[in-house]
Structure 1
Amino acid sequence: MSNDAGAPGNAEKPAVLVVDDERPLLDVFSAALSGAFDVTAVMSAREAEFALHKRAFKVLIADHLMPGGNGMNLLVRAREEFPHMQRILVTGYMKPEMLMRSVNEAALFRYLLKPVALAELVKVVHDAAKAHDASVAVAAQ
């Protein structure tokens, strides 16, 4: 499967996958990002796994704690399978040592603490999409 989320046809908006089990938060994040990104929103790690195998995404944003599988495990698996895709963890609370381990294990682009400022979310996702493109460009050389 190709990791080229910038293929012709969707080059105008980078593809972003957002995973959160809280529908109101998922809706707010999707609305904030949809102006600049092609957003796919799902409510579980299982749905995210299906989405990841249907199309390529430049950025994966996952909530940390969700029923039926946590976002951190999803991000670690995504790192292994889609190394160029940038990973962002959203969390309400994490101990500093757990956070550092998580950043290292999933090679996170960033983590965001709840409540997330929407302007910060949009900026971080823009930066992550650029990092994806740079990673793909370096790998192609």
Structure 2
Amino acid sequence: MSKPIILCVDDEKVVLHSLKTQLKSAFGNAYLYELAENATEALELIDELNDEELSIILIVSDWLMPGMKGDELLVRVHQKFPSIVKIMLTGQADEEAVNRAFDEANLHRCLQKPWSESELIETVKTALSL
């Protein structure tokens, strides 16, 4: 049986690598870490992993991305895979988008950019202990 997957989605490579580094530092090899640079790539990756019967347990997604915004991505993911825990990062999401993600995607938490590593890790720990 393969390890559960944490998926990080952000259009900025430096943010993606920072997320992966912080998560891997905290959780080591307990999880696999996948990265996507936009919502479309994330949805394709989720479908591929699902076809391979690999389990994504958590998504950390940026809100402001070209194409599809993070709240829309998380709503779509929730419709197909309601058990995936969802965390949104934002420096500029409007309140309506954040509320939509809570209401329609069962958002676990919204973290403000720049986030603190300890806040991110604590949020993930809480999310995965549900």
Taking structure 1 as the reference length, the TM-score comes to: 0.79
Unaligned regions of 5+ residues in structure 1, if any? 1-7, 132-141
Q: Distance in 2 between matches of 1:68 and 1:100?
A: 20
| Structure exhibiting the larger radius of gyration computed from Cα positions | 1
Pair 71,94 (structure 1): closer, same or farther in 2 beyond 3 Å = closer
Map 1:39-58; keep pairs closer than 5 Å. 39-55=33-49, 56-58=55-57
Unaligned regions of 5+ residues in structure 2, if any? 50-54
Map 1:89-104; keep pairs closer than 5 Å. 89-104=88-103
Compute the RMSD of aligned alpha carbons. 1.5
Pair 27,89 (structure 1): closer, same or farther in 2 beyond 3 Å = same
Pair 69,111 (structure 1): closer, same or farther in 2 beyond 3 Å = same
Q: Distance in 2 between matches of 1:68 and 1:49?
A: 13
- Matched residue type, 1:72: D
Pair 72,98 (structure 1): closer, same or farther in 2 beyond 3 Å = closer
Runs of 4+ with deviation above 2 angstroms? 93-102
Aligned identity (percent) is 32
Contact kept? 2:64, 2:92, Cα under 8 Å:
no
Contact kept? 2:57, 2:85, Cα under 8 Å:
yes
- Matched residue type, 2:35: A
Structure 1 residue aligned with 2:16: 26
Provide the aligned length of Structure 1 versus Structure 2. Answer: 121
Pair 96,71 (structure 1): closer, same or farther in 2 beyond 3 Å = closer
